[in-house]
Amino acid sequence: MQTSFTDKQLENKDNKSSETILRKCVHCGMCNATCPTYGINGDELEGPRGRIYLIKDMLENNKPANKKIAKHIDSCLSCYSCMTTCPSGVNYMHLIDHGRNHVEETYKRPFLDRTFRNILSFVLPKPNIFLILAIASKVIKPFSFLLPQFLKNSLSLMPNRIPSKKLKSQKVYSPKNNKIVSRVALLTGCVQRVIAPEINEATIRLLNRHNVEVVVMPDVECCGSLNHHLGKKDLARISFVKNIESWHQEYLDNGLDAIISNTSGCGTTLKDYGHIFKNDKDFKKKAKKISDLTKDITEYLHENLKLNYKNTEEKNYKVAYHSACSMQHGQKIHDQPKELISKTGSEVLEIPEGHLCCGSAGTYNILHQKMAKSLLRNKVKNIEKVSPDFISTGNVGCITQISTGTRIPIIHTVELLDWFTGGPKPYKLRKL
Give residue-wise pLDDT tens across range 167-189: 888 999 999 888 899 999 999 99
- 233: closest CA among 97, 362, 110? 97
- 271: closest CA among 94, 396, 95, 421? 94
Binned at pLDDT 50, 70 and 90, residue 156 comes out as confident
- 72: closest CA among 90, 96, 92, 46? 46
Give residue-wise pLDDT tens across range 320-338: 999 999 999 999 999 999 9
Strand partners for 383: none
Give residue-wise pLDDT tens across range 352-372: 999 999 999 999 999 999 999
Under CATH, which number does the domain 7-106 receive? 1.10.1060.10
Give residue-wise pLDDT tens across range 408-430: 999 999 999 999 999 999 999 98
Contact in structure between 37 and 77 (CB atoms under 8 Å) = yes
Q: Which CATH architecture has domain 172-303?
A: Up-down Bundle (1.20)
Which residue would you say has higher pLDDT here, 335 or 157? 335
Percent of the chain with pLDDT over 70: 99
Strand partners for 295: 260
Binned at pLDDT 50, 70 and 90, residue 312 comes out as low
Give residue-wise pLDDT tens across range 17-71: 999 999 999 999 999 999 999 999 999 999 999 999 999 999 999 999 999 999 9
Binned at pLDDT 50, 70 and 90, residue 140 comes out as confident
pLDDT of residue 36: 96
Contact in structure between 82 and 96 (CB atoms under 8 Å) = no
Residue 145 has pLDDT above 90, yes or no: no
Residue 311 has pLDDT above 80, yes or no: no
Contacts of 32 (CB under 8 A, 6+ apart): 38, 44, 47, 48, 49, 82
Contacts of 227 (CB under 8 A, 6+ apart): 121, 125, 233, 235, 236, 239
pLDDT of residue 174: 95
Is pTM beyond 0.85 here? yes
Mean pLDDT of 90-102: 96
pLDDT of residue 293: 98
Average confidence score pLDDT of the chain? 93
The crossing angle, in degrees rounded to 10, of helices 67-74 and 92-106 is 140
Domain ranges for the chain: 7-106, 111-156, 172-303, 306-429
Binned at pLDDT 50, 70 and 90, residue 314 comes out as low
Residue 148 has pLDDT above 80, yes or no: no
pLDDT of residue 144: 75
Under CATH, which number does the domain 306-429 receive? 3.40.50.1860
Percent of the chain with pLDDT over 90: 85
Give residue-wise pLDDT tens across range 241-272: 999 999 999 999 999 999 999 999 999 999 99
Does the CA dihedral 388-394-398-404 come out positive or negative?
positive
Mean pLDDT of 115-144: 88
